[in-house]
Amino acid sequence: MPKTTLPNGVRIHYQQLGEGPDLVMVHGLTGNLAVWHLRIVPELSERFRVLTYDLRGHGHSDTPPSGYTPDDMAGDLLALLDALELERPLIAGHSYGADVALYHALAHPERVSEVIAIESALPALEESRRHDGWVGWSYWASALEQAGHPVPPEKRSDMRYMIRATIDLPKQWGPLRGLPRNPKPLLKLLEETTLPEDYRRVGSLTLERVGAIDTPVTLIYTERSAFLHSYEYLLEHLPHPNGVLLPATEWGHFGPMEQPELVAQAIAARLESPATTAAGVKAAAGVKAAAGGEGAAADGRPAGAPGGAA
């Protein structure tokens, strides 16, 4: 179980597999590096040297009491790249991990070749999701209720309550699907750290600074995702965006677990020539690709749960 101690004293657990151009993969809140290893790393490690790691407070990394803002996490990422001597990798992140990748690209554009942001929420857009009527809360509450856990109306937008309730759900993906979760690590994260407050702190990446991210960014979202507003905003305001909409799924927000082959194909396509990238992904995966400033139109009920709970 390889770990490295960062200059800030936090020990980070990581895995590195394969050969080729460097690819770093950053998971979402309450997940761990295993989400990439179920299907995506085996698909990509023949073409990339893939680095996955557990964010602080997750998996087998240390759980300090504070330091969970996107800026803090981006600092950990930079320190990890330094420790492993990775100069300018392609960085792919899911949900909060995508936010971390964008913060890193803003602060250190010389240390990333491209960002692949899968269902980034973007903390600066948190205000649009905070109200009780946001569709993501309804989707999350519906999933809990289907599992036999009714959510009181006054708790539907309470992040601590919703994550704590989700702990009671069985695992949803992989060979352990249907088995109960180990609640202790997540309860420690919720009750003994500042993560529930920190994750939504805007910090350096304000809406006004989105246009300062000069790194190419591929945005991968799911049709009917509850985060399509973030997709549309980033597609319009990033200087060099490439948009990919994957087909709608049951959960909407969890592409790396629900349709890993399509996510892997979209990532691999970024090494191809620009002329064939979007066409190659579209032909292979049946996705809708949009480049430049075009927005995405959602039809039907939006899907997706906030955060990155898996």
Render pLDDT for 22-31 as a digit per residue (tens, 0 to 9). 999 999 988 8
- Report CA-CA distances (Å) from 21 to 27, 93, 112, 215, 295: 20, 17, 12, 17, 31
Q: Which stretch of DSSP H or E encloses residue 116?
A: strand 114-118
- Identify the bridge partners of residue 92 per DSSP, sorted by sequence position: 25, 116
Who has greater pLDDT, 298 or 120?
120
Residue 303: the pLDDT is: 34
DSSP 43-67: HHTTTSEEEEEPPTTSTTS---SS-
CA distance 36 to 20: 18
Q: Above 80 in pLDDT, residue 296?
A: no
CA distance 187 to 242: 37
What span, in angstroms and rounded, lies between the C-alpha atoms of 130 and 158?
A: 9
Backbone phi and psi for residue 276, each to the nearest 5 degrees, phi listed first: -110, -5
**What SS3 state is found at 69?**
coil
DSSP 181-235: P-HHHHHHHHHHSSHHHHTT--TT--GGGGGG--S-EEEEEETTBTTHHHHHHHH
Q: What CA–CA distance (Å, rounded) separates 71 from 215?
A: 17
Helices (H) and strands (E) in the chain, counts: 13, 9
- How far CA 48 is from CA of 4, 45, 54, 109, 144, in Å, comes to 21, 5, 19, 21, 37
pLDDT at 133: 58
In which residue ranges of the chain is CATH 3.40.50.1820 found?
3-124+198-291
What digits encode the pLDDT tens for the residues 253-290?
666 667 888 999 989 888 654 433 443 344 334 433 44
* Residue 190 banded pLDDT, cuts 50, 70, 90: confident
Q: Answer whether 28's CB lies under 8 Å from 305's CB.
A: no
- Percent of the chain whose predicted confidence (pLDDT) is above 90: 51
Which burial class, exposed, middle or buried, applies to 114 when counting CB atoms under 10 A from its CB (0-12, 13-18, 19+)?
buried
Q: Say what the pTM is.
A: 0.82
Across the chain, what does the average pLDDT equal?
Answer: 81
Which pLDDT does position 134 carry in this prediction? 61
**Span 3-124+198-291: which CATH code?**
3.40.50.1820
pLDDT at residue 176 is higher than 60 = no
* Region 181-197 average pLDDT: 86
Alpha carbon distance 53, 45 (integer Å):
15
Residues in the chain, total? 310
Q: How confident is the model at residue 20 (pLDDT cuts 50, 70, 90)?
A: very high
106-146 pLDDT, tens digit per residue, is 999 999 999 999 999 999 997 766 656 566 666 667 777 77
Residue with tokens 């995702």: 225
The one-character DSSP state at 301 is S
Q: What gap in Å lies between CA 92 and CA 112, rounded to an integer?
A: 10
Pairing assessment for the beta strands 3-5 and 11-18 based on DSSP bridges: antiparallel
**Structure letter (DSSP) for residue 248:** P
More confident residue, 268 or 291: 268
Stronger pLDDT, 208 or 155, i.e. the higher one: 208
- How many Å is the maximal CA-CA distance in the chain? 51
Euclidean distance between CA atoms 90 and 111, whole angstroms:
9
